[in-house]
Structure 1
Amino acid sequence: MANTNVSPLNTHFFDDVCQFFDHAAQFTNHPQGLLDQIKACNSVYRFQFPIRKGNSFEVIHAWRVEHSHHMSPTKGGIRYSEMVNEDEVMALAALMTYKCAIVNVPFGGAKGGIQINPKNYTVAELETITRRYTVELIKKNFIGPGIDVPAPDYGSGEREMSWIADTYYTMNPGQLDAMGCVTGKPIALHGINGRREATGRGVAIAVRECVSVSEDMKELGLTAGLQDKRVIVQGLGNVGYNSAKFLIEYGAIVVGLCEFEGAIYNEDGLDLDAVFAHRKQTGSILGFSGAKKEFRNSAEGLEQPCDILVPAALENQITQENIGRIQAKIIAEGANGPTSPEAAEAFLQRGGIIIPDMYCNAGGVTVSYFEWLKNLSHVAFGRMDKRYEENANLNLVNTLESITGVNLSGDQRKMIIKGASELELVNSGLEDTMIRSYHEIREIKMNNPKIDSLRTAAFVGSIDKVAVSYMNMGIWP
């Protein structure tokens, strides 16, 4: 039996996702049986295994859920958290299905979870847990480049993904595409440039696209564009930090930062890197000299004046209890499920805009898709054509200079001649994906006045796409 000692906040997450699904399903024309199939989790693998910790043994509880097999492989991260439970993993797997459909990535949804607090284990113990978890997945055929491809999630990262890749390859000697069994790997182990910051960059692009639509911003009483928009970000992990970083690059001002130990606020803006350095040195964002206000209760940080709130930590952070005190006009869900259905409805009734999680944080799976393609092709992006592109551009520049008699400066020549690197190609693909997907979702909403939110529109679009896949299988006429 799995450990039932879990947070009550996390035990209805899958129901919340299903509630959003059911609300959107009424705007589609699919038979109920097909809708039931799309909504259900196809495979739920719950297991446990012992590890040696010091001079004793400890039982580790873990899960892998494959929500939908309308496309293969399935795809989703592995969460390392003592709060993780079966309901949460099922909900996250379902969101992955809809997320992949929204950004047109050809995966089914999946998710994994290991019920531990990584801080309570040595590196050697974490490696043992990760490798044993991988072996359990291999035994049940729950991992493989064409079966199910994990990735990092809360509490895990490149290090854990490298252990998974090595374990899988060891158990499958000679398999040519073995490194495609997992994404989010280090560059040295066939990862891809840009993956680490992809989710945060995607969040920033999503926000930028949302605020670029003048008519939508006019209804909120805001001007179009990110310039000088005030932003509060919850979470200084990978997603939160990079969301804040790229939002600042696009012209926004980060006025508030929230972490589990508390929150800080300055209406004139916070120096993100200085805050990050302060936390690394002291272990807390509290006490930062550039903050004008600080709060021991992190939740109070979410309620300060701002234009855009980016919850980029865990689910269920914005609820009926605190939504009335949230002052933001736009919520950009960097985390999965940070807003409860009741809170979302109340926020929309106030005229706010929610950029839904299954689109907003899809940058990670988009670039994971690029990494998977790289692993299957065994060629880094740009390697085959970068020099050819540069030589062709050089010949063009030389020809134009000889015809016009105008000589470019050295910097101008470099800028024009330069071929695209892997990182530039990845970022270009990510940006194009996020831009196209946002306007596809918005178009669905605008074409049906009864659709009340971008989230509902995103669900409608994803349900339609998954339904088409099932129909193409010949299961439904």
Structure 2
Amino acid sequence: MSSLLEITWTDPVTGRHGYVVIDTLVRGLASGGLRLRQGCTLEEVRGLAQGMTRKEALVYDPSDRYVPLGGGKGGIDIDPADPQATEVLTRFLAAVRPVVREQWNTGEDFGLRQETIDKVAADLGLASTVEAVFAQLEDAQDARRRLAEAFAVTVGGVSLGDLVGGYGVARAALEMAQREGITDPTAVVQGFGSIGGAAARYLARAGVRVVAVADRDGLIRDDDGLDVEALLAARDGLGVVDRSAVPGAVLGDREAWLEVPCDLLVPAAMSYVIDVDDVARIDARVVVEGANMPTLPAAEAALRERGIPVVPDFLANVMTNAWWWWIVFGDIDPTEASSFAKIDAVMHRLVHTVADAAQASDRSLRECALEVAAQNSRAVTERVGITG
């Protein structure tokens, strides 16, 4: 299926490329974040936009006020640590501003913090990067207030908005551990930004031994279990941990995370990090995709042949996107308790619905999750009409 809209932008100053892909529209709207990554391509953004279509549909509940949107995504081919990154981001958003105003509702993603995109949007005269949704709400003023209140909440020194996605990944992992009969589970988390850091925090708080994490500077490992809170306190804005804060931990190469023995392997940073050649190195019982598209299809098939289930990204990391809209549409209160209770209930339902279907039909978790998303998409179409 081809995308509804694809934009390729060239920065007139640096020559860097940026992309917007609208995969589907519902009520004329699409949802999906904007990432900054050296090497980002149109093909990557296209795949991410398709994933957003699935995420939106997957969480549909007819009892919610929130009715899923379509899927869209943006990406800029630049290292977020590049000194020119914010300037390039500003020029990109200025160029695609009409799409943001009318159709594409966006926010932080890999390599981009919400406060950064909010500041750039404000400088460009945008009240937010979800104005297209607010324009369709009768209670837009209350929705803005709820969203502002939600982002003002901090939990253990971290913004609630930076925790909900990783909390959902942790809940997906814990539900799968329970289904697989794993007791005293261990985990390895690759990536220590918003998703990976929060996933590690809530796995540890649930009693999981997080034996290794990997950031862009390499591996940090302690088979007795890392002090995750100390690591969180020692990370910078790009999720890199100050090594002086982890005395006694074993440090290793950034690719070594694949071969650390564990029960729950959580790739939570970049796309395309598990290829078929990597599968033999993996010593885990479950892979939970915290990042978008971290496992290539051939690798996922090889993992399944080894009896290692892969919880697909559009299920495991769906909660950042869903949480935004539950807040905006008023399905939950802008509090930690209300947010986490909703995530607990929805992730439990989704994981067990998908895993039960996979067990009954001898299909992969991805195949069954896609089926649920397709069924929900049809239900949304029946409810609101042609989705675009």
If the TM-score is normalised by the length of the shorter chain, which range does it land in? 0.7 to 0.9
For the pair 1:290 / 2:248, whether they are aligned, the reply is yes
Establish whether residue 143 from structure 1 lines up as the match of residue 56 from structure 2. no
The aligned residue for residue 63 of structure 2 is none
Any idea what SS the aligned residue of 1:82 has? coil
Partners of 1:63 and 1:113 within 8 A in 2: yes
d(CA) in 1 for partners of 2:329 and 2:92?
A: 25
Contact kept in structure 2, 1:279 and 1:285, CA below 8 Å: no
Is the 1:61–1:114 Cα contact (8 Å) retained in structure 2? yes
For 2:240 and 2:150, locate their aligned partners in 1 and report how far apart those are by CA, in whole Å: 35
1:362 positional shift: 0.6
**How many Å apart are 1:270 and its aligned residue?**
1.0
Partners of 1:72 and 1:357 in 2: CA distance = 25
Contact 1:233 1:258 in 2 (8 A): yes
1:108 to 40, 50, 70: 70
Judge conservation of contact 2:169–2:199 (CA < 8 Å) in 1. yes
| Alignment of 1:197 onto 2:154 | no
Unpaired runs of at least 5, structure 2: 61-66, 154-159
Q: CA RMSD in A?
A: 3.4
Q: Specify whether residues 466 and 62 from structure 1 end up closer, same or farther in structure 2 by C-alpha distance, changes over 3 A only.
A: same
Asked if 1:438 is matched to 2:355, the reply is no
Q: Is the 1:71–1:106 contact (alpha carbons within 8 Å) kept by the matching residues of 2?
A: no
Per the TM alignment, residue 163 of structure 1 is displaced from its structure 2 partner at its CA by 2.7
Q: 1:203 to 1:475 in 2, by over 3 A?
A: closer
Work out whether residues 312 and 366 of structure 2, in 8 Å CA contact, stay in contact via their aligned partners in 1. Answer: yes
Distance in 1 of aligned mates of 2:132 and 2:17: 29
Number of residue equivalences: 367
Aligned residue among 316, 319, 338 for 1:425? 338
Query: Taking structure 1 as reference, are residues 204 and 189 closer, same or farther at Cα in structure 2, changes over 3 Å only?
Result: closer
**Corresponding residue for residue 162 of structure 1:** 118
Instruction: Give secondary structure in 1 for the equivalent of 2:283.
Output: coil
User: Residues of 2 paired with 1:175 and 1:475: CA distance?
Assistant: 18
Q: Match for residue 257 of structure 2?
A: 301
Give 1:137 shift.
2.0
Matched ranges for 1:153-232 at <5 A? 153-166=109-122, 167-169=124-126, 177=134, 191=151, 193=153, 194-213=160-179, 216-217=180-181, 222-223=182-183, 228-232=184-188
Quote the offset at 1:469 in angstroms. 4.2
Secondary structure at 1:112's aligned position in 2?
Answer: strand
* Larger CA Rg, structure 1 vs 2: 1
Q: Work out the CA distance in 1 between the residues paired with 2:128 and 2:198.
A: 35
1:77 lines up with 2:33 in the alignment? yes
Q: Counterpart of 2:285?
A: 329
User: Residues of 2 paired with 1:209 and 1:348: CA distance?
Assistant: 18
Instruction: Pick closer, same or farther for the CA change 1:326–1:109 going to 2, 3 Å.
Output: same
1:158 and 1:185 in contact (8 A); partners too: no
How far apart are residue 64 of structure 1 and its match? 0.9
Asked whether the equivalents of residues 264 and 286 of structure 1 are also in contact (C-alpha less than 8 Å), the reply is: no
Query: Which TM-score applies when normalising by structure 1?
Result: 0.69
1:67 maps to which of 8, 12, 23: 23
**Runs of 4+ residues deviating >6 angstroms:** 183-187, 471-476
**Alignment-mate amino acid for residue 169 of structure 1:** L
* Offset, 1:372: 3.0
Residue 346 of structure 2 aligns to which amino acid in structure 1? T
What SS does structure 2 have at the residue aligned with 1:109? strand
Separation (CA, whole Å) in 1 of partners of 2:230 and 2:152: 28
Question: Displacement of 1:288 after TM fit?
Answer: 3.5
Aligned partner letter, 2:290: G
* In structure 2, distance between residues paired with 1:268 and 1:285: 18
Distance apart, 1:209 and its partner CA: 1.4
Distance, in Å, in 2 between the alignment partners of 1:333 and 1:286 is 29
Mapped to 1, the partners of 2:148 and 2:376 lie a distance apart of: 36
- Residue 358 and residue 176 in structure 1: after superposition, are their counterparts in 2 closer, same or farther (change >3 A)? closer
Of 446, 460, 463 in structure 1, the residue corresponding to residue 371 of structure 2 is: 460
Letter of the structure 1 residue corresponding to residue 171 of structure 2: I
For the 8 Å contact 1:134–1:168, the answer to whether it is kept is no
Aligned with residue 99 of structure 1, among 34, 39, 55: 55
